Amino acid sequence: MLRGVDRTALSEQDVKEILPWIPPRPICRVEVDSVTGTHAHGFYIDCFLPPDELETQYLLANLARVKDAASCAIRLGAKIVSLGGFSSILIEGNFAHLPSGGETAFTTGNTLTVSFIVRGIKRMCALERRDLADAKVLIIGATGDVGSGCARCLAPFVNRLLLRARNKERLSKLAAQLRRDGCPVDLAWDAESFDCAADIVICAASLPSPTFVLNGIVPDAIVCDAGYPKNLAPLSAPRAKVFHGGMGQVTGDLRLSPDLNGILNRHPLPNVAHGCLLEGMALVLEKRFEPFSQGRGFITREKVAEIERIADRHGICPAPLFNQAGPLEEPKARLLTRAVPKWGPERKETGPLRRVGVSGAR
């Protein structure tokens, strides 16, 4: 993609050998219009982290790349930086790893991502005529920032939470917190627990490639694949109602230059992006240059409701439900409207937006 369509495609091995030599840099300009008439602009900055090189032995090199990408954003005058994908996972909420940017604020973008996942679950339940209050919800990757945020948001509305993660200590702490709030919780650490018991599954683990196989899933279970890269191995849950969660749509306007829609954001409809990127956009449009999402364990129902109000005010809403086969529901007119002229005189500049994005070996 970076070489241009006129070039012969490289093999995956060639790409892997080239990636380490590419420094973090902006690969496209981003512009977004709010339905209120305000405007924000910035860049998508890629760290070029191979997703199959995320083990401990690569940690220092990968952290150095994220720092370089953050420095790039600061040099470009960023007022806020949304850490996307593996860049936020590597930082683990410890923003002390990042360079001091003066007026530059950092956010993981995970709070709006959680909002889009939870709202997607509710819409899928409505679409399939399911009662969420009767559901047993399995969250895979429950101790991560997104997984734990989903658990807190869904706890008041479901019959039972089934939490699965590798870290027993973190999982036990999360379960204790949820039980204090009155939610029944069961825990598991192995790879296949609860598959046959869950009505709804949220896959929110940090994986370098699609590897989960849910062959034991109950017929017609609702499955949200919220990972990026995706969590589910192809054709691993043929009987399930699968949708891709965590993405939103800009109902004003969203422009990438060069136009990388369909490459950076795999969605069949326009103006769609990942929640982590859209959180940064919403905060800039709201003129709130702050570390709204700060890392694991800070996503609460109150914070999710707050970012939803901000996003909704600027016309940033959950993307139409879809999976790899295409849309799952009829797009509504409100999901793609242009509320203000593209280059109208009333558009106001609210400052730059930057994202440190990790798109993997593409």
- DSSP per residue, 176-212: HHHHHTT--EEEE-STTTTTTT-SEEEE----SS--B
Q: Which residue has the tokens 């380490």?
A: 20
Both tokens of 174, joined, read: 């999360």
Distance CA 355, CA 244 (A): 21
Report how far residue 96's alpha carbon sits from residue 115's, in angstroms, rounded to the nearest whole number. Answer: 26
In the sheet where 272-274 sits, what is the strand order?
272-274, 247-250, 316-318
Give this prediction's pTM: 0.87
* Domains of the chain, earliest start first: 112-244 (3.40.50.720)
3-state helix, strand, coil in the chain (%, to 5): 30, 25, 45
Per residue of the chain (362 residues), give pLDDT as tens.
Answer: 777 778 888 998 898 888 889 999 999 999 999 999 999 999 999 988 877 787 788 888 889 999 999 999 999 999 999 998 788 777 776 788 888 767 899 999 999 999 999 999 999 999 999 999 999 999 999 999 999 999 999 999 999 999 999 889 999 999 999 998 889 999 988 777 777 888 999 999 877 677 777 877 888 899 999 887 778 877 677 778 899 999 999 999 999 998 887 777 777 788 999 999 999 999 999 999 999 998 788 999 999 999 999 999 999 999 999 888 888 876 554 444 333 333 333 334 444 444 444 333 32
The answer to whether the beta carbons of residues 289 and 283 sit under 8 Å apart is yes
CB-neighbour burial class of residue 327 (10 A; exposed 0-12, middle 13-18, buried 19+): middle
Say which DSSP state 282 is in: H
Q: How far is Cα 224 from Cα 243, in angstroms, rounded to an integer?
A: 5
CA distance 50 to 64: 14
Residue 247 to residue 187: CA distance in whole angstroms: 28
